[in-house]
Structure 1
Amino acid sequence: MPAVGGAVGLALMAAVPTALAGTALADTGSGAAREVTYQAQLRPLNHQTGSGRLTLRLRGSTATITERYSGLAARFGGKPYPHLQHIHGGARGMCPPMSADKNGDGVVSTAEGMPFYGPIQTTLSVTGDVTPRGGTNLAIAPKGPSLRYERTITLSPAAVASLHKGIAVVVVHGDDPRLLGRKARTEKSELVPSLPLAVTSPALCGVLKAMPAGGAATGTGSTAATGRAAAIGPAAGAWLFGAGAVLAGTCALARVLLVRRRDRAACRPA
């Protein structure tokens, strides 16, 4: 019997790592396909009056973005006002306070806000370029005082990393110069010197925060637990089935060995 017990133990030891490896692969596979939803409440900066909300559904590096805002400046040079907008990241993951205004002109410029929200990592254009290179291209920026924006784009690796770390920030640019002080109204942009400071300064800002699984209103601890159980259920079932098969096989082997041992005992001379 000791030999049988050793065979059973070795068989189970061999089965467990294989089953656990299957479970790990199943978890990794399901995680890779998981969609995460992020949301930002867009609040005004630099004495502006607008507001809005942006929702970003991320699967891998593919982002489906839905955005609504209103109350921003309507006209620039007799034409609809271009409102450059981006996902910034890699810094503190914050919208800057007015104390970030270092030169005392009453405006937190894009450069003054950068220690808080970081550099441009993805451009939220209405068409074409979504890289940081398109960050100051007025031709592809949303225009007018309000926006209904829906677009699916590929995010840069830096933007994806900032989302996962909780430090991605949405910034909508384009201040109404009528709401700025006299000094700021006459300044030039530090990003595009041919433009007024107001055009490239932040107007709305919001930190992108991951929403609970199932949505902000419906996600609960019980729902999350059910999701985890569903994810590991098949792998766990496969492990149990495999372990059961090993046990059944070793029990059959034990019965054969026991029968042979009894037969040899019966054949010995008295």
Structure 2
Amino acid sequence: MQTKKLFLAAAPAAACIAALGAGAPAAHAADSWTYMANLQPVSLNTPSGAASGHFMISIDGDQATVTETVSGLADKLPTDKKTLNALGIPVAFAGMPFPHVQHIHIDGGGTCPAGSADTNGDGVISTVEGQPAYGKIGTTLSTKGATDASTATDVTKAPGGGSFTYKRTFTLNQATLSAIKNNTAVVVVHGLNPTNAPKASLTTPNSLGVTLPGASKKLALIGTAPALCGTLEKSQMSTMPSGGVQTGGGGTSGLQDQGMFYGAGGLLLAAGAVLTVRRRFAKQH
């Protein structure tokens, strides 16, 4: 009889514990979300249909797991010395995978730039001209190390090649997390393909001011201008959709040198340089 009383007394408590336990996953799930972005060519900079990508970020609290596939971008840097010099690229970079620094941008218009973003009318949208649309850097999608703005221009930590797959889990900063949840975050992949980029991107220094180590001039605009862009939107999917971007070689390894991105200026190469660069570059691919 005593045993029966103890059992009856314990039953309500057990039921309460079970109810609390059942509610825990639901509360945890409320902080877990998946967002996706279809990466499409930036107007003027990348021809329609020439490149594309798919980006997914799964967020659990402040932990983010990014899975991304990209294809159709610039593949490798040229090996010809004259071509390298014309683009402001030192010989040490010859033949290496073309680095594509990429970021989650925040605090802008929450959109990708349209052709009207080309405010100076040179036929290419620079990083600076695109900022009103996509905003500043919130998170750098680096392959290793820090993911804040400190690694924004470090090509040793950027994916490289014409096609690559990127996957990484890291702690997401609060500013980026808020922008994603407020539907104002934008994913941008930088670096144009010299074979189909606007002429001005081959002859004009980049818009934020960097000269590569060992180069005699500032890096051409192709190294920094936005190539692909996509707005992040909430999704009910937990895995990448099938039949998406075709991925080839590449991976998340970046160019093994430093200081590649961002510069400003207005130097122009001599007449005919654009055609020469494109011909030399095309012969090597």
Tell me which residue corresponds to 1:123. Answer: 140
**Deviation of 1:72 (Å):** 0.4
Give the secondary-structure state (helix, strand or coil) at the position aligned to 2:177: helix
Deviations 1:214-233, CA, capped at 9 Å, x for gaps? 7899xxxxxxxxxxxxxxxx
Please, which of 138, 152, 173 is the counterpart of residue 156 of structure 1? 173
Alignment of 1:14-29 (within 5 A): none
Q: Which amino acid aligns with 2:61?
A: G
Task: Read off the aligned partner of 1:72 and give its amino acid letter.
Answer: L
Instruction: Please list, as runs of the form range in 1=range in 2, the aligned pairs for 1:6-17 lying within 5 A after superposition.
Output: none
Corresponding position of 2:9:
none
- Counterpart Cα distance in 2 of 1:169 and 1:126: 19
CA deviations 1:23-53 (Å, max 9, x no partner) are 9xx6998157631000000101112421010
Alpha-carbon separation, structure 2, partners of 1:72 and 1:215: 24
Cα distance in 1 for residues equivalent to 2:222 and 2:209? 11
Match of 2:40 in 1: 43
CA distance in 2, matches of 1:189, 1:86: 17
Provide the aligned length of Structure 1 versus Structure 2.
Answer: 194
How far apart, in 2, do the equivalents of 1:78 and 1:133 lie? 27
Offset of residue 153 of structure 1: 0.9
Alignment TM-score, normalising by the size of structure 2: 0.63
Q: Distance in 2 between matches of 1:209 and 1:216?
A: 14
What residue is the counterpart of 1:262 in the other structure? none
* Map of 2:68 onto structure 1: 67
- 3-state SS, counterpart of residue 81 of structure 1: coil
Q: Which residue in 2 is equivalent to 1:191?
A: 208
**Residues 128 and 192 (structure 1), Cα distance of their counterparts in 2 relative to 1, 3 Å cut:** farther
Q: Which residue, 96, 103, 106 being the options, matches 1:79?
A: 96
Structure 1 unmatched ranges of 5 or more: 1-22, 218-270
> Where does residue 257 of structure 1 map in the other structure?
none
CA distance 1:84–1:216, change in 2 (3 Å): closer
1:98 partnered with 2:115: yes
Distance 2:74 2:62 in 1: 32
Sequence identity percentage: 42
- The offset of 1:204, in angstroms, is 0.5
**Superposition deviation, residue 193 in structure 1:** 2.8
Structure-2 residue corresponding to 1:209: 233
Q: Distance in 1 between matches of 2:200 and 2:180?
A: 36
Distance 1:78 1:216 in 2: 32
Runs of 4+ in 1 over 6 A off after TM superposition: 26-29, 213-217
Q: Is 1:34 equivalent to 2:31 in the alignment?
A: yes
Aligned-partner SS, 1:198: helix
Structure 2: tracts of 5 or more residues without a match: 1-19, 78-93, 212-218, 242-285
For the residue of structure 2 that corresponds to 1:80, the secondary structure is: coil
Q: Deviations for 1:217-268, whole angstroms, at most 9, x for unmatched residues? A: 9xxxxxxxxxxxxxxxxxxxxxxxxxxxxxxxxxxxxxxxxxxxxxxxxxxx
Residue-by-residue CA offset, 1:93-130 (whole Å, 9 max, x unaligned): 10000110011111111111111110000000111121
| C-alpha RMSD of matched pairs (Å) | 2.4
Q: Do the aligned partners of residues 178 and 155 (structure 1) sit closer, same or farther apart at CA in structure 2, a change above 3 Å counting?
A: same
SS in 2 for 1:79: coil
Three-state SS of the structure 2 residue aligned to 1:94 is coil
Q: Deviations over 1:163-216 (max 9, x none)?
A: 010011100000012323333311111224312211111011000100137789
Q: 1:179 aligns with which of 196, 199, 205?
A: 196
CA contact (8 A) 1:51 1:70 kept: yes
* Residues 106 and 180, structure 1, Cα contact 8 Å, conserved in 2: no
Contact 2:46 2:228 in 1 (8 A): no
Give the counterpart letter for 1:100 in structure 2: A
Contact 2:58 2:238 in 1 (8 A): no
Q: Hey, what's the Cα distance between the residues in 2 that align with 1:157 and 1:32?
A: 19
What is the CA-CA distance between 1:84 and the residue it aligns to? Answer: 0.4
Q: Which SS does the other structure have where 2:123 is aligned? A: coil
Amino acid at match of 1:185: L
Determine which structure has the larger helix proportion and give its number.
1
Residue in 1 aligned with 2:53? 52
